Each structure stands twice: as structure tokens, then as C-alpha cells.
Amino acid sequence: MQAFSGKIVALSGGVGGAKLARGLAECLAPDQLTVVANTADDFDYWDLRICPDIDSILYALADLNDEERGWGLRDESWRTMVAMRRLTGDEWFQLGDQDLATHLFRTMALRRGESLTAVTAALAERLGSPCRLLPMTEQSVATRVHSDQGELAFQEYFVRERCEPKVERIVFEGIDAAELNPAVHEALADPALTGIVICPSNPFLSIDPILSLRGCREAIAAAGVPVVGVSPIISGRAVKGPAAKLMEELDMPNTAAAVADYYGDLLDGFIIDDCDREQCAQIANPRRQCRTAQSLMRDLASKRQLAVDTLSLLAELH
Ligand code: FO1
């Protein structure tokens, strides 16, 4: 296997980003990779702190995730859910029996006064993650979706309403008072850093909250290393989630090229799927390279290969 030198910081949301994070972890030594998770999807359910993107990444890195469902743990059971439904009638957000242990462990630690960074590190270590996972911030940021059906909390829009409302505006509540996690600052300022990856996550719902944190774009620029993004849009569709639908609702073409444009100057390189190769000419410019790859990650081999392609472009740009 090709050896990559230096350290990488990867910005990620849930499912798609978690898959590439797993591939990157396969190609890099544990101290070479730091994954930064969006936490604007976080919310409280049954008085438990749920951090969906942290958990999706954590489970994927530890090879415990359910690939088919896209979230939660493999070999899950749902007996608590059934019992809670009997008591409360509430069933729109599903918490599996084993998954509940993660939320209990996190909530207990947070109530003891531990930081989200510390409890995430403890979960990563105990579940067997091969690399470091950091929440984007310690402060509370909550995505609010303004839609044709009124204002919704993110999980109400995403899970309860199945992304059906037409989105008019997305607001990250608390973003002005929030700061980039100091541990992320440190990772970005590490002299051994050789590249930053923007995983194929939803640009508006998953990556934007990270980039909108005070100090984030400045820290990325100050790092002075290449930034490579991977398109979450393949052939006009998102592999999972509402990215393509959202782009239409926000009056953008639902193409990989529109995602590249959205990230703008942030990107030094962008990877799109082989089937979108005709968009390369539109994406590439003197300051931005475009490469095509097989970007649908169906199994471990394809996750590893996309990670190799991403790391190779970073190395080329370095
Ligand atoms: N997604 C669903 O579509 N339905 C669910 O019931 C659901 C429960 C759930 C529980 C814990 C967790 O960590 C994630 C969960 N997700 C569920 C996924 C999650 O809400 C979304 O995939 C992300 O917020 C979007 O990145």
C-alpha cells in the first residue's frame, strides 16, 4: 500500500463523510488523521444528548456501523424503542438498544461537566476508533430549517418530516457565540499538517456549520496546505440525504460543479465522480484542479480507493 506522509484534517458530516473518513483511516497511521465532525445536528431526545454525525463517524471508524440503514449500529435491536412507544406514543426518532448506551454514556459525562471533546475521545477509544475525532465546537449550535411548512429543528425536518418541506433558508442558531474547537485549531496549526479534506457531506447542512464557526476559514487559510473536496453529488443526485433536493430549492443546479462553486476559493482541488467527467472543464481553473474518481463507496475497497485518490491529489498539490 502507498504510504502518505504528514497529517490530514478531514471535515465531515454523517453518512457520506463517515465513509471517506473510514477510507482515510485505512490509509493513514492513527496519529496522521483528525476527523472534525459537524455538531449542528445535535439535539436532546428523551433527555439524552444525541450527536448524530459524531456517532455516524465513530461507528464507521470502529467498523460497527449499519451500512444499509446509513446510521446507527449493526446488529441492533429495538426493544427499548417498543417499550417507550408503549409509554409515550413517541416514535419518530429511533434509538436502538445498543446505540442508547452511547447516548447515556455521553449524557452522563456531559452532566458531570466533561467536555464534548473529552467524551468523544473516550467513546472513540472504547469503541475502537483508529483515529482522532473532534467535535467542531464545544458550544451549542443548532441548525434551524425555515421551510414552506414553517421553522423546524433540524431533526424534525430531516427525520420526522423526511426532508419533504421545501427549504427557504438555513440558520445555525448559536453560531455567532460559538468558536472553533481549540483542539481543531491545534490540528490545523500543526507544522506536520499536509492537507485538509472536505468529505462528501452535505455542503449546506454539514460542512457549512463547521466553516461558519468563528476562526475556521482563517485557520484553514493560515494552515497554508492544500484543501481537497470530494463531491457529494453524483450524476445530479446525492448518494443519501437531501443535498440535491436542497440545491434545487436554493435555486442552484444540482451538479458537482455547483458544489465546487459553492466552496469557491476554499478549494485547491475537487474530486468528482467518473460519470460527471464532462464537468471537469467547468470546475478546473488556474487555482483549482479537478480529478475524477469512482466516488460511490459501496464497500471497504472503494472507500480505501477514494481515500487514496484524495490523498494523491493532496500530495500532488502540496
Ligand atoms: N435517521 C433517520 O432517518 N431516522 C432515525 O430514526 C434516526 C435516528 C438516529 C439515532 C441516533 C443517531 O446518531 C442518528 C440517527 N439518525 C436517524 C441519523 C441522523 O439523524 C441523520 O443521518 C443525521 O443527522 C444527518 O447527518
* The model's pTM: 0.97
Q: Are strands 227-230 and 150-153 parallel, antiparallel or unpaired?
A: unpaired
How many angstroms separate the CA atoms of 201 and 32, rounded?
21
With a cut of 80, say whether residue 221 has pLDDT above it: yes
CB 78 near ligand 1, within 6 Å: no
CA of 284 to the centre of ligand 1 (A): 35
Q: Which domains does the chain have, with CATH numbers?
A: 7-43+128-317 (3.40.50.10680)
With a cut of 80, say whether residue 68 has pLDDT above it: yes
CB 42 near ligand 1, within 6 Å: no
12 pLDDT band, cuts 50/70/90, is: very high
Distance in angstroms between the alpha carbons of the first and the last residue of the chain: 20
Mean pLDDT, to the nearest integer, of 286-306? 96
Percent of the chain past pLDDT 90, that is, above it, reads 93
pLDDT tens-place string over residues 184-199: 999 999 999 999 999 9
CA of 129 to the centre of ligand 1 (A): 20
DSSP 166: P
pLDDT tens-place string over residues 126-152: 999 999 999 999 999 999 999 999 999
C-alpha cell at 28: 493513514
For position 153, what pLDDT does the model report?
96
CA of 148 to the centre of ligand 1 (A): 22
How many angstroms separate the CA atoms of 250 and 202, rounded?
13
H-helix segments, 137-271: 154-155, 182-189, 208-211, 216-223, 243-249, 256-263
Q: Give the residue, out of 92, 159, 201, with the most ligand 1 atoms within 8 A of its beta carbon, to mutate for a pocket test.
A: 159
CB 276 near ligand 1, within 6 Å: no
φ, ψ of residue 129 in degrees (nearest 5): -70, 135
Question: 185 exposed, middle or buried (CB, 10 Å; 0-12, 13-18, 19+)?
Answer: middle
Q: Which amino acid is at 256?
A: A
Nearest atom within ligand 1 for CA of residue 41: 24
Q: Residue 173, SS3?
A: strand
- The closest residue, in CA terms, to atom 21 on ligand 1 is 52
Is the CB of residue 231 less than 8 Å from the CB of residue 295? Answer: yes
For position 1, what pLDDT does the model report?
58
Nearest atom within ligand 1 for CA of residue 155: 20
Helix 52-61, helix 15-27: angle, nearest 10: 30
CA of 117 to the centre of ligand 1 (A): 21
